[in-house]
Amino acid sequence: MAISDVVKKYRSLGTESDVMKVLGLFKSGCPSRTDIMKISEMIPGVNFSPEAIMDFLLSIGILINDEDECKYEVSAQILELSDDKIWELIVNSTIEKMFEENIIFSSYFEYESSEKRIRFLNEKLPLTYHSARDFLIELKVIERVNEEVIKFFVSLFHEGIIEKCSKHHTMKMSLDELRRRLEDDAALGEKAEEFVISFEKKRIMKQSENVRQISHIDVSAGYDIASFEGEYDLEYNRFIEVKAVSKHREFFWSKNEIDTARLKAGKYYLYLVDVNQTNTPNYEPVIISDPYKKIFLNEEEWTHQLEKCRVFPKNI
């Protein structure tokens, strides 16, 4: 399993202690996955996923499969190392694999001179790989700093490996890889919209045939779906902008969408869809009516970060 698959499948690994507990179970033999699951159930205070940790360790080459792929063993390089050196190898291997599989890019980091530290630009991480940030926090590679604007910094101990991987990855990055990432984001957005279409048709069953996805034909509308407040309404009066989000509910909102939200006021809705939860029974998106008022003008509960600003002279 590639680490990109692990990041997509699991939302958390656990602590350093959790990872080392699971790894320790392999040092004395070659147990099967089932064996490890049963043993973990008998360890007091286990509140992590042994399966997630096993797949993670396989993805970075710390664990390997035997020939019949039913049992696992620790790679030879691990057996002679101290726990501190094992953990350093785990962290460095994770960072290298994330760069290698294009989960993180050199452009996701910048040097902040005022702090004399390397900053991780969380807003650049696609939703597909949002759990990667949480993995890096659990591995103590990056640290969250609460200021007026939340920031993430690379730990001083790991700046060297980040710099090394960034330099190497910059030389290998291609346009095809960038195009693939854009396609991944588009696929997530489409999945979220399809979920909302289905959700709306169930919510207003008598008008289900008239719920309309318009994002494919009118990209300038400022919303994705035209729907109804109630089953007996005859005119479209619920205009829905769908955002595929992670558990942290971060999303990008274009100027056109914001302007449309302001003009339509209470008839405009944001549906925040966690695409990792859409197959969960009875899952419902976060629904926000009049988001211009409740989000854009609400600086106490929401943070807005300016990503781009179009600038041009007035007299030319």
Q: What is the pLDDT of residues 212-231, one digit of tens each?
A: 998 888 888 899 999 999 98
pLDDT value at residue 172: 66
Token reading at 16? 């350093």
Q: Percent of the chain at pLDDT above 70?
A: 89
**Domains of the chain with CATH codes:** 3-172 (1.20.120), 187-296 (3.40.1350)
Q: How far apart are the first and last CA of the chain?
A: 56
State yes or no: pLDDT of 153 exceeds 80: yes
pLDDT value at residue 68: 60
Burial class (CB in 10 A: 0-12, 13-18, 19+), 17: exposed
State yes or no: pLDDT of 143 exceeds 70: yes
> Which has more pLDDT, 146 or 122?
122
Record the pTM. 0.54
Burial class (CB in 10 A: 0-12, 13-18, 19+), 280: exposed
